Chain A
Amino acid sequence: MTLWQILILASIACFALKLTGYVIPPALLTRPTPARVANLLTVALLAGLIAVQTLGQGQSLVLDARVPAILAAAGLYALKVPFIVVVAVAALVAAGIRLVT
C-alpha cells in the first residue's frame, strides 16, 4: 500500500460516513445510544493516540522529553491557553530538554 492509496481510501471512508447521515432516515440514529458511542469513540481514539504518541517508540514504551512536554500542555489547556500556543510550547519543551540532555 502506498501513502497515496492510504490517503485516498481514508478520504473516501470519511466522506462516505458524512454522506451516510444525509441518506439514512434520521430516526435510525438519533436515539441516545449510537450518539453516545460515537462521542465516546472520539474520546477513546484521541486518548489512545495521545498515549502512543507520548510513550511509544516503535513497539516499545519509553519515558523521554515528550512526557514533560505533554504535562506542560495539559497545564496550559487547563489555563485556557489557545491551542496553537500550547502546541508550540510543547514542541519547545521537548526540543529544549533534548538540547540539554
Chain B
Amino acid sequence: MTLTPETNGAARASLAVGLATAAYGISFGALATAAGLDVWQTCFMSLVMFTGGSQFALVGVIASGGVAAGPSAIASAALLGSRNVIYALRMSPVVGSGWMKRIAAAHLTIDESVAVSTAQSTPAAQRVGFWLTGLLVFVGWNLTTLVGALIGNLIGDVSAYGLDAAAAAAFLGLLWPRLKHLQAQAVAVVAAVAAALLTPVVAPGLPVIIAAIVAVVFGLTDWLGTRTTSDTEGAPLA
C-alpha cells in the first residue's frame, strides 16, 4: 500500500471515528450487565455479534422481558442488523475477492467502517478507511465493553441508579442522526406510538417487532419520501 494524501486522510478519519465509538462501548457494557448478562456474556456480544445497534436492542428486550422474550430479542437484533446487508453490498467491490478476506470484512461491516470508507475519494483510501476503521472500532469497542461491564457489575441495581433511563437515552442517541428527513421522523413517531400502545396487549419484545412493520409500509410506498436518501444516511453510529 502506498501512502498518498488520500490514504492519510482516510487513516485520520478512521482514528477519529474509532476513538469516538469506543465511548459507546462503556454504556453498552454497563447496560448489558444491568439487563442480567454476566461479564463473559457481555464481552461475547461485542466480540462475536459486533454490531452496536443490534447489541443494544437485544439487551433492551432482555432487560424488559427477560429470557422468556428470547425469540423477540433475537428477531430485534436481526432486524436491526439487516442494514448491514446493504452496507456489505456497497463494500463488496472495495474489499475485493478471496473468501478469507470476505469473511473478515463481513465481521467488520458496521455503520462506522462503511461510513468512513464511502466518504473517501480514491479506491485505495476507501480500502484503508474500511479496514482501519473496522479494526480500530473492533478493538476500542471490545475494550470499553469490558470496562463498562465491570462498572455495571460494581454499581448493581438498575433502576435505583437510573440505568433504565440511560438505556432509553442510548437508543435515542443511535436514532437522533437518522432523523434528518421527514420520512424518517414520521416513521419514528408512528413506530414509537405503535410500540407503546401494543405493550399492554402483546408479549414483551413483540411491540418493537410489530412496530417495524411501519418501516416496511413507509419504505415500500416511499410515503413522504424524498427519493434522494443515501443508504448511509445518519451514519456513523454504533
Contact = CB atoms under 8 A, between A and B. Distances in A.
A59 interface: yes
Interface residues of A, number: 76
Interface stretch (B7-15, B88-96, B116-124, B135-143): B88-96
A91 B226 CA distance: 36
Interface string B77-105: 11111111111111111010000001101
Contacts, number: 333
A59 B204 contact: yes
A74 to B, nearest CB: 6
Contact of B88 (A21, A34, A88): A21
Interface residues of B, number: 108
Given A11-B45, A34-B86, A45-B208, A93 B165 contact: yes
B92 A50 contact: no
Task: Tell me the interface secondary structure of chain A in the complex.
Answer: helix
Contacts of B199: 51-52, 55-56, 59-61
Contacts of A96: 162
B150 interface: no
A47 B76 CA distance: 12
Among A30, A39, A88, A92: residue with most chain B CB under 10 A: A39
B2 interface: no
* 5 closest cross-chain pairs (CB), A and B: A21-B88, A94-B162, A37-B219, A90-B169, A48-B195
